[in-house]
Amino acid sequence: MDLRDHLRFLKEATEAIGTGVDMVAIAQQFAALLVPRLGDFASVHLLDALFVDGAPAPFSPHATAVSLMRRVAVAHDEPPERWRLVVPEGAVQIMYATSPCHEAMATGLPVYVPSVEPTQAAAMALAHGTRDLIPLVAGRSYLAVPLSVRGRVLGCVAVTRRPERERFDDADVLTVGQLAAQVALSIDNVRLYRGQQATTAELQRAVLSTAPSALTGVEVAHRYLPGNPEVEVGGDWFDTMALPGSRVGIVIGDVMGHGVHSAAAMGHLRIAVQTLAALDLPPDQLLRQLDNLAQRMGDDHLATCLYAVYDPIAGICLLANAGHLPPLIVRGAGRVEPVAVPSGAPIGVGGVAFDTVSIPISDGDTLLMYTDGLVEARGDDIEERIEALAESLRLASPVATDPEGLCDALIGTLDPDKHEDDVALLAAQLSSIAASDVAHWLLSPRPAAVGRSRRLVRQTLAGWSLPELFDTAELLVTELVTNAIRYATDPIELRLLHTSTLLCEVRDNDHYLPILLEAADLDEHGRGLFLVSRLARRWGSSRTAHGKVVWFELATADA
Amino acid sequence: MAVQRLSPQTHGDTAWIEREAAQARAYDAIGARYDEAFPHKEGQVACAEALLEQLPPGARVLDVGSGTGLPTARQLVSAGCEVTCLDLSPRMLEIAQANVPQARFILGDVLDLAREPGRFDGVTAFFSLLHLPRAKLRDALGLLRDILVPQGLMALAMVEADVDDVPIPFLGSRIRVTGYLRDELQAILPDSGFTVELARTMSYAPETSEAGPEVQLFYLCRRAAGGDP
């Protein structure tokens, strides 16, 4: 064989094999390259376990030799049907000890049989289960080369030549061995890549904000661009959480560092914030608790975090900051203001106090929170960067009137090739709830509170022109208030909120959350929450810093 | 103008005196933040307006729990009334003096007012009597009735609730509050010698996280004819 021709073949073959992203396609490419140039027949076998997501390749070659193998590629120079039934592609089998492939995998070394003896051919056929195998192997020179990489054997390739053809020489063995190494590497890369993809997809699911359905008063849009598109996960996160009183908690955070490690730390913090937010803590206390938790979890990660609580009834937004970039507010008429919130220390530093600031919100204002990836390419000084971002917002806001449009406009200003850091962006358009749609009372926790609550509900629903809800609302309020006064020692709070639905909340200072029980026919208690779960559109309960709140929501005719 | 100080009529009751001192300290601490948290008092302004429509020119009006003097004392002064501001908190009274220098000022507890019949043509008590326990609140209503001229008017505002003297967090302080539901209050007022001429209920949301939304009850009442009820 001409050396130059041989080198060209090797180069082209290596390139063809190296580009595959699919194990079977790589193996088939390999088999096709071998025939007829290096053999009259070739078959490629891979560990069946490679086709199961997340399964690691066995460490010892011997383990591979006795594992289930899948024949993923067959190539030969005869009519396509000739060997299909004898050695079908896709078949899964154990590699029998009679096959040279078994030895090759068990030792991790190539096995060369210059001519398969009739007795060995018969033994192979016996193990294989059909005498039809004999003509495929008998008298042929047989080369079995393991597909090994990084100390592991992933499979094997078998190449044979008919007796009339020249037998394999050293150069052939080396050539097949060279290509097999390349194939093994490519297949292992696919395996690793796929494993990484599965991991990142799993993490991604944890990252992606699951916005609570029907967030009254807030329209949210968000974007997440991983800095490294291959690893679609980073340390940035955001969340929106429904809180009692139609308030909404909004968080954005950024674990310093990159990759899966930061993503895992982010996952911890994200869940911690959700749990703490459900306790309805003021923002500064939430960050303080988060900092404590981060220390106890032993994560040596630092994270910046900004937590906001929007109250659509009071028309204010409370914010506390742990070292994160300050948010921007797009007011009416395209006025953009940075929010003056003390920068605070990052989560993980420990022992520092945070401050809550309160900013007034008008109907339709948009709160924009982001991570530093959004501003990293906008100048050297952080103040300049934020000002540049504010300028982009000023330009965008007259055109982009909704949060989605604002996000698009801001992402559009990013240089797609330049951003190296993750970019997370959340725009929340805040609408207010008129005081006339809210009613709130303190009631002494005594039996009379039940009847009084019913009366207040009826009077209030009459004022809101919701007579169709009288009966259900009174019934469910009765249950909630009855439950609340049973253990409360301080006045309970009853709140009604009329938006596209009717929301009713009852707070008391008892910490035990109610449990939904199936009441037996004659039970006096325990029927209440069952009723609530049946008649309400939604219902729930959550612990607060001073007790608990139980709520239900009824659909209104106009919703 | 000098501030008149009421001396406690309940000398022996040190617990009560200490309680009222605590309420006063809470409002001293709240100070001007009160108006920031409770802006846009359309309901209160409208209720005072209804009172003014029925008062003679130059009427003598007592503003019980005058707070910062805004909006009510200033509204009354602007309408030509001779206004007396009464408040328990020295700090609040100072703010009111700056806001409404034309008024007279009394520092003290409404229950310590001298029972001088016919001293005022009108009384306003916006969200002030709710700081008294129910029993004292009834006493205060009776006292206010007595210091009005016959057919005198009172504008009253309360927060609807069913509680008697419970402590609640309020603008960073703790104050004790009392409330009635609208039906009960409408029964209590006649019992205290007032006829309800106007009643209005409205929801109000303070612009703060340190106080919740509330249902406000506004009444315009007239001193009922006859002697003590």
pLDDT digit string (tens) for B79-95? 999 999 999 999 999 99
* Chain B touched by A452 (CB under 8 Å): yes
Q: Which of A319, A357, A438, A442 should one mutate to test binding to chain B, selecting the residue with the greatest count of B CBs within 10 A? A: A442
Q: Are residues A301 and A449 in the same domain?
A: no
CB contacts < 8 A, A to B, total: 78
Whether B53 shows a pLDDT value over 80: the answer reads: yes
Q: Are residues A138 and A195 in the same domain?
A: yes
Could you give the CA distance from residue A315 to residue B208 in angstroms, rounded to a whole number? 8
What mean pLDDT is predicted for residues A298-305? 83
Those residues whose C-beta lies under 8 Å from the C-beta of residue B227, and which sit 6 or more positions away, are none
Structure tokens at A222: 């968000």
pLDDT number for residue B46: 97
| Banded pLDDT at B7 (limits 50, 70, 90) | confident
Does any CB of chain B come closer than 8 Å to the CB of residue A311? yes
The reply to whether residue A438 touches residue B161, judged by beta carbons under 8 angstroms, is: no
What's the gap in Å between the CA of B74 and the closest CA on chain A?
25
A511: left (phi over 0), alpha (psi -120 to 50) or beta: alpha
Instruction: Tell me the mean pLDDT in the region B45-63.
Output: 97
Sequence-separated (6 or more) residues with CB below 8 Å from residue A360: A315, A316, B207
Whole-prediction pTM: 0.73
Per the CB < 8 A criterion, the answer to whether A137 and A160 are in contact is yes
Q: Is there a contact between A498 and A437 (Cβ–Cβ < 8 Å)?
A: yes
B contacts of A315 (beta carbons < 8 Å): 205, 207
Is residue A426 domain-shared with residue A440, that is, in the same domain?
no
Give the pLDDT confidence of B125-157 residue by residue, as tens digits: 999 999 999 999 999 999 999 999 999 999 999
Tens of pLDDT, residues A393-436: 888 877 777 899 999 888 887 766 666 677 888 999 999 999 99
Please report the pLDDT score of residue B229 as a whole number.
Answer: 47
CA distance linking residue B77 with residue B69, whole number of Å: 10
Domain count, chain B: 1
Q: Residue A200 pLDDT more than 60?
A: yes
At residue A523 the predicted structure's pLDDT band, cuts being 50, 70 and 90, is low
**Which residues from B are below 8 Å from A495, CB to CB?**
213
CB of A495 closer than 8 Å to CB of A440: yes
Q: How far is Cα A449 from Cα A462, in angstroms, rounded to an integer? A: 20
Count of all residues that appear for chain A in the document? 559
CATH of residue B133: 3.40.50.150
How far apart are alpha carbons A74 and A318 in whole angstroms? 67
Contact A305, A288 (CB under 8 A): no
Q: How far is CA A61 from the centre of its chain?
A: 35
| CA A514/CA A49 separation, integer angstroms | 48
> How far is it, in rounded angstroms, from Cα A251 to Cα A372?
15
Who among A314, A435, A449 is closest to B208 (CB)?
Answer: A314
DSSP 8-state assignment for residue A298: T
Residues of B whose CB is below 8 A from A307: none
Question: What pLDDT band is residue A55 in, cutting at 50, 70 and 90?
Answer: low
Contact A442 B183 (CB under 8 A): no
**How remote is the C-alpha of B1 from its chain's centroid?**
22
Give bridge partners of residue B86 from the DSSP assignment. Answer: B64, B106
Residue B145 lies in a domain: yes
Looking at residues A211-234, what average pLDDT do you find?
71
A238 Cα distance to chain centroid: 13
State the smallest CA–CA distance between residue B43 and chain A in angstroms.
12
Which chain B residues are within 8 Å of A448, Cβ to Cβ?
162
Smallest Cα distance from A315 to chain B, Å: 6
pLDDT tens figures, A99-153 = 899 999 989 899 999 999 999 999 998 888 888 889 999 999 999 999 998 888 9
Residue from B181, B203, B208, B217 whose CB has the most chain A CBs within 10 Å, to mutate: B203
The structural domain count of chain A equals 3
Does the pLDDT of residue A311 top 90, yes or no? yes
Spatial contact of A314 and B207, defined as CB atoms under 8 Å apart: yes
Burial label for A417, CB within 10 Å (0-12, 13-18, 19+), is exposed
Tell me if chain B has a CB within 8 Å of the CB of A440: yes
Give the pLDDT band of residue B69 (cuts 50, 70, 90): very high
Residue A512: CATH number of its domain: 3.30.565.10
Contact B209 A358 (CB under 8 A): yes
Residue A454 forms contact with B (CB below 8 Å): no
B115, B11 contact by CB (below 8 A): no
Query: Residue B214 is nearest to which of A316, A440, A459, comparing CB atoms?
Result: A440
A218 and A156 in a common domain: no
Whole domain around residue A530: which residue ranges? 436-555
Q: List, for residues B196-227, the tens digit of each pLDDT value.
A: 999 999 999 998 888 889 999 999 999 998 65
Element (H, E) at A449: helix A448-463
Cα–Cα distances (Å) from B56 to A122, A277, B75, B79, B157, in that order, read 126, 56, 15, 10, 22
Q: In the 8-state DSSP scheme, what is residue A195?
A: H
Is residue A225's pLDDT more than 90?
no
Domain that holds residue B110: 12-223
Round to whole Å and give the CA distance between A188 and A194. 10
Residues of chain B contacting A245 with CB distance shorter than 8 Å: 212
The string over B12-24, giving b where at least 16 C-beta atoms fall within 10 Å of a residue's C-beta and e elsewhere, is eeeeeeebbeebb
pLDDT at A520: 53
CA dist., res. B171 & res. B36, Å (int): 10
Do the Cβ atoms of B181 and A455 come within 8 Å? yes
Residue B5: inside a domain, yes or no?
Answer: no
B182 vs A: CB within 8 A: yes
Whole-angstrom distance, CA of residue A138 vs CA of residue A128: 14
- Selected residue with higher pLDDT from B68 and A223: B68
Which chain B positions have a beta carbon within 8 Å of A313's beta carbon?
205, 213
Pairing of strands A248-255, A236-242: antiparallel
Q: A443–B162: do the CB atoms touch at under 8 Å? A: yes
Amino acid present at A238: F
Cα distance between residue A381 and residue A387, in whole Å: 10
Distance CA A538, CA A153 (A): 56
Does residue A171 belong to the interface with chain B, where contact is any CB pair within 8 Å? no
For residue A484, CA distances in Å to A436, A510, A511 come to: 26, 8, 10
A366-395: per-residue pLDDT in tens?
999 999 888 876 556 878 888 888 888 888
Shared-domain flag, residues A124 and A251: no
Compute the C-alpha angle B191/B179/A532, nearest 5°.
Answer: 120
Query: Quick one: tokens of B162?
Result: 């069913």
| pLDDT > 70 in chain A, percent | 88
For residues A532 and A466, state if they share a domain: yes
Is the CB of residue A121 less than 8 Å from the CB of residue A127?
no
pLDDT mean over A328-345:
89
Chain B residues whose beta carbon lies within 8 Å of the beta carbon of residue A444: 162-164, 166
Sequence-separated (6 or more) residues with CB below 8 Å from residue B210: B37, B169, B170, B171, B172
SS (H, E, C) B55-106: CCCCCEEEEECCCCCCCHHHHHHHCCCEEEEEECCHHHHHHHHHHCCCCEEE
Residue A419: what pLDDT?
Answer: 63
Considering A199, A225, A246, which residue would you say is the last residue of a domain?
A: A199
Q: Kindly state whether residue B178 falls inside one of the protein's structural domains.
A: yes
Check residue B8 and give its pLDDT.
84
Can you say whether residue A530 is alpha, beta or left, with left for phi > 0 and alpha for psi between -120 and 50 degrees?
alpha
Asked if the model's pLDDT at residue A526 lies above 60, the reply is: no
pLDDT (tens digit, 9 = 90+) per residue, A163-192? 999 999 988 999 999 999 999 999 988 888
Residues of B in Cβ contact (< 8 Å) with A493: 212
Residues of chain B numbered 106-165 and touching chain A (CB < 8 Å): 160-164
Of the residues A430, A456, A476, the one at which a domain ends: A430
Calpha distance A393→A366 (Å, rounded): 11
| Residue A278 belongs to domain with CATH number | 3.60.40.10
d(C-alpha A375, C-alpha A382), whole Å: 8
* Cβ separation B162–A459 shorter than 8 A: no
Contact A443 B161 (CB under 8 A): yes
Q: What is the β-pairing status of strands B104-107 and B3-5?
A: parallel
| Residue-level pLDDT at B226 | 67
Q: What is the pLDDT of residue A521?
A: 53
Report if residue B7 sits inside a domain: no
Q: How many CA atoms lie within 13 A of A466 on its CB side?
A: 27
Closest CA to A198 of A243, A233, A224, A245: A233
Handedness of CA A20, A23, A24, A27 (dihedral sign): positive
Provide the mean pLDDT of chain A. 86
Nearest Cα to Cα of residue A190 among A2, A46, A20: A20
pLDDT at A525: 56
Question: Which SS3 state, helix, strand or coil, does residue A81 take?
Answer: coil
Q: Residue A47 sits in a domain of what CATH number?
A: 3.30.450.40
Ramachandran class of A475: left when φ > 0, alpha when ψ lies in -120 to 50, beta otherwise? alpha
Domain termination site, one of A386, A412, A430: A430
What is the predicted pLDDT for the residue at A56?
Answer: 60
Alpha-carbon distances, residue A21 vs A56, A195, A249, A368 (angstroms): 18, 13, 43, 40
Q: Does A313 reach chain B within 8 Å, measured CB to CB?
A: yes
Residues paired with residue B162 on neighbouring β-strands, in sequence order: A443
User: What value does the mean pLDDT take over residues A549-559?
Assistant: 84
- Are B179 and A442 a contacting pair at CB < 8 A? yes
- Cβ contact B212–A493 (<8 Å): yes
- What pLDDT, in 10s, does the model give residues A462-499? 999 999 999 999 999 999 999 999 989 999 999 999 98
End-to-end CA distance of chain A: 81
CA distance B76 to B52: 8
Task: Say which residue the tokens 């960050």 belong to.
Answer: A287
A294 in the same domain as A389:
yes
CA distance B19 to chain A (A): 19
Q: Are residues A251 and A398 in the same domain?
A: yes
Mean pLDDT calculated for residue range B108-136: 96
In degrees and rounded to multiples of 5, residue B76 shows phi and psi of -70, -40
Residue A41's pLDDT band, with cuts at 50, 70 and 90, is very high
Kindly report the nearest CA distance between residue A340 and chain B, in angstroms.
18
**Is B145 strand, coil or helix?**
helix
Mean pLDDT to the nearest integer, A83-102: 88
Residues of B in contact with A437 (CB under 8 A): 203
At A285, the amino acid letter reads Q
Contact A354, A320 (CB under 8 A): yes
| DSSP state letters, A219-256 | EEEEEEE-SSTTS---SEEEEEEE-GGG-EEEEEEEES
Give the pLDDT confidence score for residue A527 in this predicted structure: 63
Is the pLDDT score of A524 beyond 60?
no
Chain B window 9-38: which residues touch A at a Cβ cutoff of 8 Å? none
Looking at the complex, report in whole angstroms how far the Cα of residue B200 sits from the nearest Cα belonging to chain A: 12
Give me the percent of chain B exceeding a pLDDT of 70. Answer: 97
Tally DSSP H helices, then E strands, for chain A: 14, 21
State whether A142 and A45 are in the same domain.
yes
A495 touches chain B (CB under 8 A): yes
DSSP run (H or E) holding B134: helix B134-147
